[in-house]
């Protein structure tokens, strides 16, 4: 028996998690998986209604009672401080110590890429450090709002934090037969933090003599991901640089609406979420692409030990796109629910045929 917490959150999170849930239910029935799906009401509505984003008891329950969490997105124009999103999403990343933010980006079809002539095969696996860097909230502001204001926002790198994400990237590269790991940083300016990342990268990388390693400054990397993305395979970066590079890599490989991600503490906790946000500009219009969330279901099933079922979900997601059943972001006219229904049907048919 596995228990899954579903947190749709805000905006299009509600629409895409609704479809992801249907996909999960179809697979659970067909594979006789004993899954319990619990809906969690965490998001802007609750925050505005009760003045509470998430309680300690809720963190405890999410930590102790679940095998995995599936989250849609958090962010609402009615909460301009984004306080609830920080409390809930960053709260889970920090409190559950989900130090690996794995963001796989694969180009499903060349015509999906905004690049003129993308490589025939393009797969970028991003390992984003998820528990420190510029995200800890360590800092403050003095003489706030006056002409003498001083504001600080620290960039934290610990030996432990840097080493464990670099190890995760190299171990992944080795297990998947990838030939190169690239470190993205700004070591030419950030000497201390950058220096630590470079030293640990060399040290850990030297344990993997068959895997090439190189370091790229983040500005040059942004350029090169557009110029020659096929040069890269596995990418490891700090929290902030990984956040930026992962939106770029998602767009280069077909669009933000397609990209899934996993926030993991190996052996302990896992939270899956599409890379995109709550997209207030299209929320409630059924124009959201649910593929990022549905592909999260693939990652989640794989995480629970059902790798074949996960691959089946991925195949059905790809098939929906190939069949032309796509939302407007990919040039189609299908609604969020149409894409979900297409995938549900495709899965049912493939199970019925024993494919």
Site string for ligand IPM, 191-230 (x = CB under 6 A): ----------------------------------------
- DSSP single-letter state for residue 79: -
Closest CA to 319 of 352, 354, 344: 344
247 carries an active-site annotation:
yes
**85 belongs to the binding site for ligand IPM (CB under 6 A):** yes
Task: Write down the least CB distance from residue 103 to ligand IPM, Å.
Answer: 8
Tell which one of 243, 251, 329, 338 touches ligand IPM (CB under 6 A): 243
Q: Residue 353 Cβ, how far from ligand IPM at the closest point, in Å?
A: 37
Q: Which of 5, 44, 88, 89 binds ligand IPM (CB under 6 A)?
A: 89
- Residue placing its CB nearer to Mn ion in the complex, 185 or 243: 243
User: Using an 8 Å Cβ cutoff, are 52 and 45 in contact?
Assistant: no
> Which of the following is catalytic: 102, 186, 329, 338?
186
Residue 317 neighbours by CB under 8 Å, 6+ apart: 291, 294, 295, 298, 343
Residues that bind ligand NAD (CB under 6 A): 12, 73-75, 82, 85, 89, 256-257, 273, 276-282, 288-289, 292, 327, 329
**Strands (E) located in the chain:** 2-9, 35-39, 68-73, 100-106, 123-129, 139-142, 150-153, 180-185, 212-217, 234-237, 260-265, 269-274
C-beta closer to Mn ion: residue 86 or 198: 86
Please identify the residue of the shown chain whose CB is closest to the bound ligand IPM.
243
Q: Which part of the chain contacts ligand IPM (CB under 6 A), choosing from 43-51, 82-90, 219-227, 323-331?
A: 82-90
Determine whether 243 is an active site residue. Answer: yes
Least distance from Mn ion to the Cβ atom of residue 246, Å: 6
Distance CA 65, CA 53 (A): 19
DSSP for 222-287 reads: HHHHHH-GGG-SEEEE-HHHHHHHHHHHHHHTT-GGG-EEEEEETTTEEEEEESS---TTTTTTT-
Alpha-carbon distance of 121 to 125, in angstroms, equals: 13
In the bound state, the residue with its beta carbon closest to ligand NAD is 75
Please give the radius of gyration of the chain, using alpha carbons only, rounded to the nearest integer: 20
Q: Which does 289 bind (CB under 5 to 8 A by kind): Mn ion, ligand NAD, ligand IPM, none?
A: ligand NAD
Of the residues 247, 302, 345, 351, only one is catalytic, namely 247
Cβ(18)–Cβ(8) below 8 Å: yes
Helices (H) and strands (E) in the chain, counts: 12, 12
Catalytic residues: 135, 186, 219, 243, 247
Which residues bind to ligand IPM, rule: CB under 6 A?
75, 85, 89-90, 243, 275, 277
Which residues bind to Mn ion, rule: CB under 5 A?
243
């Amino acid at each position: 028996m596995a228990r899954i917490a579903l947190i749709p959150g805000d905006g299009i999170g509600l629409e895409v998690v609704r479809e992801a849930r249907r996909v999960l239910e179809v697979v659970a029935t067909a594979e006789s998986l004993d899954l319990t799906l619990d809906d969690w009401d965490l998001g802007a509505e609750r925050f505005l209604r009760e003045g509470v984003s998430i309680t300690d008891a809720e963190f405890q329950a999410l930590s102790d009672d679940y095998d995995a969490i599936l989250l849609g997105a958090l962010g609402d124009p009615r909460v301009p401080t984004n306080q609830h999103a920080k409390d809930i999403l960053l709260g889970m990343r920090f409190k559950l110590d989900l130090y690996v933010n794995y963001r796989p980006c694969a180009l499903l079809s060349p015509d999906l890429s905004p690049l003129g002539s993308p490589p025939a095969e393009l797969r970028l696996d991003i390992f984003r450090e998820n528990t420190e860097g510029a995200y800890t909230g360590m800092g403050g502001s003095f003489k706030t709002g006056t002409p003498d204001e001083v504001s600080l926002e620290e960039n934290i790198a610990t030996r432990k934090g840097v080493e464990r994400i670099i190890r995760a990237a190299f171990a992944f590269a080795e297990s998947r037969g990838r030939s190169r790991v690239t470190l993205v940083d700004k070591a030419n300016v950030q000497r201390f933090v950058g220096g630590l990342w470079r030293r640990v990268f060399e040290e850990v990388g030297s344990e993997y003599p068959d895997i090439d390693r190189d370091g790229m400054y983040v500005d040059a990397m942004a350029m090169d991901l557009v110029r020659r993305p096929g040069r890269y395979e596995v990418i490891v970066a700090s929290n902030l640089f990984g956040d930026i590079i992962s939106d770029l890599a998602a767009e280069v490989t077909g669009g933000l609406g397609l990209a899934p991600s996993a926030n993991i503490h190996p052996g302990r906790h896992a939270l899956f979420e599409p890379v995109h946000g709550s997209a207030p500009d299209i929320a409630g219009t059924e124009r959201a692409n649910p593929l990022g969330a549905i592909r999260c279901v693939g990652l989640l099933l794989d995480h629970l030990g059902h790798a074949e079922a996960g691959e089946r979900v991925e195949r059905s997601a790809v098939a929906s796109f190939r069949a032309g059943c796509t939302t407007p972001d990919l040039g189609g006219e299908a609604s969020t629910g149409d894409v979900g229904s297409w995938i549900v049907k495709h899965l049912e048919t493939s199970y019925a045929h024993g494919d």
